[in-house]
Structure 1
Amino acid sequence: MSQFKLGFIINPIAGIGGSVALKGSDGVAEQALELGAKPKANERAALALEILAPYKAQIQVFTCNNDMGERCASQLGFNTQVVYQSQAAQTSADDTENAVRALLENQVDIILFAGGDGTARNIAKVVSEHSEVHGGAQVPVLGIPAGCKIHSGVYAITPKAAGRVVEMMVNKELVTLAEGDVMDIDESLFRQGVVKAKRYGEMQIPSELRYVQAVKSGGKECDELVLQDIAANVIEEMADEDESLFIIGSGSTTAFLMAELGLDNTLLGVDLVHEQSLVANDLTEAELWQHIQQHQGECRLVITLIGGQGHIFGRGNQQLSPRIIRHIISQPGGKDNITIIATKTKLAALNNRPLISDTGDGELEQALSGYMAVTTGYKDQVLYPVASPE
């Protein structure tokens, strides 16, 4: 029986700027490391490969040296062949592109990669060039979400979901191929609170709607009256719990709340409010944890979901780490200390898909799974399921 040839690439620094509020990794990896950020891409890639562990005898992994894939695959016991050697202390876009060329030369069945939108752009460039030169269909590609920004439609919704899709291919189940858009944004504008996304092409992806995310919705909420009602409800809760420290997550819905409070807001960051006054803007994970430790009272969290995807953790708010979320739900009230705000229109757009908590911490995700209340207006809430990632 022929072996399944799995091409495997990790961008080791993907997402490294998230926890330290740099909103990306492009050109800021050294700064992120100096601020204490810890690389997480290998951990997230391992979650995908663990799903495939029962099929080791059927899979040959073609990958890159060290933290670009070799270490992760070898530690999990896969038959691993290094086809690209990076010579750099810190890998670059050139390494990703050269690695893809090596994988294509080895005629892999799929390229599974861990990274963000920048990594997807690098891979799409080479895959497209190879297809133009050699003709024929493109090799399928699937992303393991590991970056700060995941706007592209070439990613699985969670690392484990990526493993599930490849598992279907290994088992020769029917998997539909579809075009997934490769999107990216200008990170320099992103750090100023401006989202300017651009389409850079498409790649063939194994499309299973349960496991692969849609392209992120780029539009802002337009129903101002509904948003005013949601904000009024949260502000009333704040008044009732004046001693609590309120952590305000990223997104346009939470930005509307901050505007109603008359406070400066970090659209793509995490802010802190106490007694309806601003404590600090755009906090890193470490800064947020320090404030929580110093605060004598309870802490509350106000978040929204990412339109079109349903993520409440793990997309654009990596500052909200497992230890912070765990601290919040360990207080009296449990999960009710997390206020999720969204319009019913935004929930309806999920087409009954559950909300997703992608923290990378399996025990925490189990604790968050089940039904949670979502504030959709003034004194108006709906119960909505939160799923433990596949």
Structure 2
Amino acid sequence: MRRIGLVVNPIAGMGGRVGLKGTDGMVERARELGAEPRAPDRAVRALESLRNRASEITVVTWGSPMGEDEATAAGFEPTILGRPDGDRTTAADTHRAVEAFVAEDVDLILFVGGDGTAVDVATTLDDGGGTIPILGVPAGVKVFSSVFAVSPEAAGRLAATFEDWERREVNDIDEEAYRAGTVRAAPKGVARVPVDGELQSSKQVMGGDVESLARGVADAVEPGVTYVLGPGGTLQTVKDALGFEGSPLGVDVYRNGAVVVRDANEAEILDELGPENVIVVSPIGGQGFVFGRGNDQLSPAVIRDCDLEIVASREKLESTGVLRVDTGDESLDDALRGWVRVRTGRFEQRMIKIV
């Protein structure tokens, strides 16, 4: 009988689609902008995948929005070890949940959130001397650590079937610096994680000559078309080639030689879409994610209304191998999967598979 300790950060990822690039200290602002909880649905997807692959599973969890609701919705009868202290959940609630899981000697801690939640879980284990493996269900805006499965479904499969673990790093990014346009990552610890090919790698910063591919994007721009330009260093070079200073870690909307919206959220992007629209994005180096990591403003509604252009240096593609998507919409993810052309230079393209 495998015992799973489940903890959900119910506010994880809420800042993504409304353009806040994180939720730390920004929950009320995210709600004001119309943000909806993202983590509960992704938790249920992971738990349904887990239940479909293993009949002898016991789930112990924290009360109401931190796991109880999600486990019940997925068909489990969870054991509740405690409840949040107040109406709003905090990192302290996560710490208490992990401490309870250690006392219960669970086989795996399955957490739902982003890098901040990963740090909370890992540091609590470090402080308490725990040696329990952990596994992340990706649900935050920042999901750069190597302790996450590539999708909720993959997390469920791995939680049900893993037989061994390996040490992997936990990182977090300074959200204030991130909102200001700087990726300032710092290692926060090392955790035991189940071994599997469906774990993502840590974010890597890869070098490469992207000026030529940026020039190729600029040359191909057509009047009347709305271009939705994603975040990251490669796209910053594209924005430079188009002649404007973009938001380095945000999404900018460009049309007819001018920036229409800088650092746009989902609603602002949707308002500006016209008859012809193109999303230009670059995968995260070392991970290969095109959607679902740091660019949640590019929501399923936005993606469905746009053509897609992917750009990446040859070095980045060689380090990545395949591309991945995690939009939160399973039917859209399925539609995006398959072979795609990626611009690697001014004229050069390469075929690579979205898996």
After TM superposition, the score normalised by the length of structure 1 is 0.89
Using the TM superposition, give the Cα deviation of residue 84 of structure 1 relative to its aligned residue in structure 2, in angstroms.
Answer: 1.6
For 2:302, the equivalent position in structure 1 comes to 324
For 1:62, the equivalent position in structure 2 comes to 60
For 1:381, the equivalent position in structure 2 comes to 349
Matched position secondary structure for 2:72: helix
Find 2:202's aligned residue among 215, 228, 231. 215
For 1:202, the equivalent position in structure 2 comes to 190
For 1:172, the equivalent position in structure 2 comes to none
For 1:349, the equivalent position in structure 2 comes to 319
Find 1:276's aligned residue among 251, 257, 272. 257
Q: Is the 8 A contact 1:264 1:278 kept in 2?
A: no
For 2:123, the equivalent position in structure 1 comes to 125
Using the TM superposition, give the Cα deviation of residue 150 of structure 1 relative to its aligned residue in structure 2, in angstroms.
Answer: 1.3
For 2:31, the equivalent position in structure 1 comes to 33
What amino acid does structure 2 have at the position aligned with 1:183? Answer: N
Whether 1:161 aligns to 2:139 is no
For 2:171, the equivalent position in structure 1 comes to 183
Matched position secondary structure for 1:247: strand
Find 2:212's aligned residue among 202, 207, 229. 229
**Partner Cα separation in structure 2 for residue 280 and residue 324 of structure 1:** 15
Using the TM superposition, give the Cα deviation of residue 276 of structure 1 relative to its aligned residue in structure 2, in angstroms.
Answer: 2.5
Matched position secondary structure for 2:97: helix
What amino acid does structure 1 have at the position aligned with 2:138? Answer: P
Using the TM superposition, give the Cα deviation of residue 362 of structure 1 relative to its aligned residue in structure 2, in angstroms.
Answer: 1.1
For 1:332, the equivalent position in structure 2 comes to none
**Partner Cα separation in structure 2 for residue 233 and residue 227 of structure 1:** 10
Using the TM superposition, give the Cα deviation of residue 128 of structure 1 relative to its aligned residue in structure 2, in angstroms.
Answer: 0.7
Q: Is the 8 A contact 2:48 2:156 kept in 1?
A: yes
Q: Is the 8 A contact 1:369 1:386 kept in 2?
A: yes
Using the TM superposition, give the Cα deviation of residue 56 of structure 1 relative to its aligned residue in structure 2, in angstroms.
Answer: 6.0
Using the TM superposition, give the Cα deviation of residue 220 of structure 1 relative to its aligned residue in structure 2, in angstroms.
Answer: 5.2
What amino acid does structure 2 have at the position aligned with 1:215? Answer: S
Q: Is the 8 A contact 1:247 1:300 kept in 2?
A: yes
For 1:134, the equivalent position in structure 2 comes to none
Matched position secondary structure for 1:125: helix
Using the TM superposition, give the Cα deviation of residue 55 of structure 1 relative to its aligned residue in structure 2, in angstroms.
Answer: 4.8
What amino acid does structure 2 have at the position aligned with 1:193? Answer: G
For 1:371, the equivalent position in structure 2 comes to 339
Number of equivalenced pairs: 355
- Give a deviation string over 1:177-232, Cα, whole Å, max 9, x none: 11111111111111100111111111100121x21111111x253x3xx3121011
- Give a deviation string over 1:100-158, Cα, whole Å, max 9, x none: 11111111100000011111111111101221xxxxx6100000111111121111111
Q: Is the 8 A contact 1:56 1:77 kept in 2?
A: no
RMSD: 1.2
For 1:140, the equivalent position in structure 2 comes to 133
Matched position secondary structure for 2:146: coil
Using the TM superposition, give the Cα deviation of residue 54 of structure 1 relative to its aligned residue in structure 2, in angstroms.
Answer: 2.6
* Identity across the alignment (%): 38
**Partner Cα separation in structure 2 for residue 375 and residue 192 of structure 1:** 28
- Give a deviation string over 1:3-48, Cα, whole Å, max 9, x none: 2111001000011111111111100011101110001001111111
**Partner Cα separation in structure 2 for residue 75 and residue 310 of structure 1:** 31
Q: Is the 8 A contact 2:48 2:75 kept in 1?
A: no
What amino acid does structure 2 have at the position aligned with 1:288? Answer: I
For 2:230, the equivalent position in structure 1 comes to 249
Q: Is the 8 A contact 1:56 1:79 kept in 2?
A: no
For 2:239, the equivalent position in structure 1 comes to 258
Q: Is the 8 A contact 1:373 1:384 kept in 2?
A: yes
Q: Is the 8 A contact 2:113 2:137 kept in 1?
A: yes
Equivalent runs, 1:105-116 vs 2, <5 Å: 105-116=103-114
**Partner Cα separation in structure 1 for residue 100 and residue 164 of structure 2:** 26
What amino acid does structure 2 have at the position aligned with 1:214? Answer: S
Whether 1:291 aligns to 2:269 is no
**Partner Cα separation in structure 1 for residue 49 and residue 179 of structure 2:** 35
After TM superposition, the score normalised by the length of structure 2 is 0.97
**Partner Cα separation in structure 1 for residue 53 and residue 218 of structure 2:** 52
- Give a deviation string over 1:223-273, Cα, whole Å, max 9, x none: 3xx3121011111110xx211000000110000011122212111110000
For 1:23, the equivalent position in structure 2 comes to 21
What amino acid does structure 1 have at the position aligned with 2:81? Answer: V
**Partner Cα separation in structure 2 for residue 180 and residue 212 of structure 1:** 10
What amino acid does structure 2 have at the position aligned with 1:309? Answer: Q
Q: Is the 8 A contact 2:344 2:350 kept in 1?
A: yes
What amino acid does structure 2 have at the position aligned with 1:243? Answer: G
**Partner Cα separation in structure 1 for residue 211 and residue 144 of structure 2:** 27
Using the TM superposition, give the Cα deviation of residue 92 of structure 1 relative to its aligned residue in structure 2, in angstroms.
Answer: 0.5
Q: Is the 8 A contact 2:44 2:73 kept in 1?
A: no
Using the TM superposition, give the Cα deviation of residue 79 of structure 1 relative to its aligned residue in structure 2, in angstroms.
Answer: 2.4
**Partner Cα separation in structure 1 for residue 170 and residue 52 of structure 2:** 31
What amino acid does structure 2 have at the position aligned with 1:197? Answer: A
**Partner Cα separation in structure 1 for residue 82 and residue 257 of structure 2:** 54
Find 2:282's aligned residue among 300, 304, 315. 304
What amino acid does structure 2 have at the position aligned with 1:69? Answer: G
